[in-house]
């Protein structure tokens, strides 16, 4: 039996997508997460931050939001060019800047 989604309040859940992107500085990713929570009223179903080198990280974000909404928040935070250029659905992610 599926449980009620704690974010969209529906059974079944209205559907989430998982996005992945790379971030040169973990501190910049924190600025994104803070702004994303503010803009989407906390629409984060799952969030994983994996350190990939001394300062950088990869983020996997599951949310009900469309990729355009994620991109819009990325544009609003400083030093986000690598995040914007690597943002993809998890299944399409390569980490290569477009």
Binding residue for Zn ion (CB under 5 A) from 2, 13, 46, 58?
A: 13
Judged by CB under 5 A, does residue 44 bind Zn ion?
no
Judged by CB under 5 A, does residue 52 bind Zn ion?
no
Size of the site for Zn ion (CB under 5 A): 4
Judged by CB under 5 A, does residue 5 bind Zn ion?
yes
- C-alpha distances (whole Å) from 53 to each of 34, 50, 64 are 22, 9, 29
Task: Give the Cα separation of 88 and 86 in Å (integer).
Answer: 6
Nearest distance from C-beta of residue 94 to Zn ion, angstroms: 28
Answer left, alpha or beta for residue 29, where phi above 0 means left and psi between -120 and 50 means alpha.
alpha
Footprint of Zn ion on this chain (CB under 5 A)?
Answer: 5, 8, 13-14
């Amino acid at each position: 039996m599926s449980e009620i989604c704690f974010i969209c309040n529906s059974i079944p859940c209205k559907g989430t997508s998982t996005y992945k992107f790379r971030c040169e500085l973990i501190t910049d990713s924190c600025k994104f997460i803070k702004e994303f929570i503010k803009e989407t009223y906390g629409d984060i179903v799952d969030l994983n931050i994996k350190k990939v080198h001394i300062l950088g990280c990869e983020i996997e974000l599951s949310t009900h939001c469309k990729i355009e909404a994620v991109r819009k928040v990325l544009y609003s935070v400083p030093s986000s060019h690598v995040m914007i250029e690597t943002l993809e659905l998890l299944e399409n992610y390569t980490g290569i800047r477009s």
